Structure 1
Amino acid sequence: MTATTRLAALGRAELTLLVRNRMALFTALLMPALMIGSIRAATDRVGLDGTGMNVAEAAVTGGVGMVLLLVVYLNLVSAYVGRREELVLKRLRTGEASDREILAGTALPATCLALVQCVLLVAAAVTLLGVRAPERPELLVGGLLAGIALCVGLAVVTSGATRTVESAQLTTMPLFLVSALGSGLFVPVEVFPETMASVCELLPLSGVMTLVRAGWLGGGDGGELLKAALTTLGWAAVSVLAARRWFRWEPRT
């Protein structure tokens, strides 16, 4: 059995479990759309002068970040914890699949779903809301893929500090709130005071959002994009190191 076959089998099994979990399915399918409405209401109350975007553009690009957080990060923390506590991860390690394949296979349905939702979001925004088409699609795709990889890594790390599936609602809340409020999801970082904006630009998802907005709406000079890419890569490296140190394959005692 090849690595691709093993990944596909793990992904199908995880997709079956996702479909059976109504709460996880609701979070993955409906919550992003509801949060985009909240983002639009928030940006409507904030002056966007000088940001280079209107309310609709700020809302839909922030919606990409919400898809990453809700569909990838939140869902995967619960998935990794649930499979660990049910001894699924422990049993899988006795088979042919490597550790990386097990983690990637578990993440496969959520990452594919996030990609599909982002494609639909872009299409709906352009055709129904009059938002301009992506000016640099390669940068948008690169930022999206980097964000997915980063959220998977952060989910692996967070699961190590989470005892039960129920407690995942608490352990995921800090990163969710910090990213939603400080990484430009609800309101662009450009509207913050300069000192606060400089700090917020160093948050885990801030670099991803900079790349996504520059890819979709244009703007952003080379130095700004390089800083965003390095910030994203730095957090990805930290998440990998932390995952190796703190991820648990067996139930917490």
Structure 2
Amino acid sequence: MTTLTAPAAAPTRLRRTLALAGAETRLLLRNRTAVVNSVLLPLLLVAFVPVAGLGGDGPVGPRIAVAAFAVTLVFLTYYNLVTTYVARREELVLQRMRSGELTPGEVLLGTATPTLLVTVAQVLLVLAGTAVIGEWSAPADVVLPLVALVGGMVLMTLLAAASTSFTRTAESAQITTLPLVVLASVTSGVVVPLASFPDQVAQAMRLTPIEPIVELARLGLVGQTWDGRSVDWAGAWAAAPQPLLVLAAWIAVAAVVAPRVFRWAPRR
């Protein structure tokens, strides 16, 4: 009996998660403000980086793409998920879903899926846009940016879940998400290259959550290390272990903390 039911468990979980994701997608599309903020704001912020002469040296197209990774993950993935989780919690939606057949993981993943899909679409849109305007150049490696994007989405989802523990309302997310937004702006290397800081400060910034994502994206898309050195495919992978380890460490810590602090019901 066990052999018959066990294989069916995974497809069942997948169907439940996809059904929830479909419902969340319809809710997102009905909210025009959320759609505009999700689509236009990250694109405007990404476009601001090269226009303002920020983000270091290198070809404009890949620099725009690197900025898209950081801006989209922070301003779209992280912020949207904090507000979504908190709104669903305050409306008692999470509590009701958890009391049914859905597991906690299915609830969180299904709720996050529309935002994660928009994140991927935004990055692909920026990459396509740079090619259309003739600013694209061949990347040094395609695997490292992919790892950066997937790892970044996982980390932002976990950090968003953890951030709901001190976010009482969806409106207050504008305040509670500011620390990560400011940290990302200062330490990611997108706005101010890390090479501009003293070496000890720069090395400390490389241990922050967003910087390894940007560093991996820059290694693959621009062929450039955090301190501005140009590298080829082999050089990109030679420089990749530290950001890979830092990103993995942040994901591991967030995976332990988020389930422990996440609140399924509002405070009364």
Q: Structure 1 length as normaliser, TM-score?
A: 0.91
Structure number with greater Rg is: 2
Unaligned runs of 5+ in 2: 1-10, 226-234
- Residues 248 and 45 of structure 1, relative CA distance in 2, 3 Å threshold: closer
1:84-233 to 2 correspondences below 5 Å: 84-220=89-225, 221=235, 222=237, 224-233=239-248
Alignment partners' CA distance in 1, 2:59 and 2:135: 11
Letter in 2 for 1:196: V
Compute the displacement of 1:195 (Å).
2.3
Q: Structure 2 residue aligned with 1:4, among 8, 14, 20?
A: 14
Compute the displacement of 1:88 (Å).
0.3
Alignment partners' CA distance in 1, 2:240 and 2:139: 16
Compute the displacement of 1:55 (Å).
4.7
Matched, 1:251 2:266: yes
Alignment partners' CA distance in 1, 2:117 and 2:71: 15
Q: Structure 2 length as normaliser, TM-score?
A: 0.87
1:47-87 Cα shifts (integer Å, max 9, x gaps): x4xx5x24553333112211111221000000000000000
Equivalences, count: 248
Q: Percent identity?
A: 35
* 1:39 paired residue number: 49
Alignment partners' CA distance in 2, 1:45 and 1:239: 30
Alignment partners' CA distance in 1, 2:196 and 2:220: 20
Compute the displacement of 1:27 (Å).
2.0
Deviates more, 1:184-193 or 1:133-142: 184-193
Secondary structure of 1:2 counterpart: helix
Alignment partners' CA distance in 1, 2:99 and 2:127: 42
Contact kept, 8 Å, 2:164 with 2:262, in 1: the verdict is yes
Compute the displacement of 1:213 (Å).
1.1
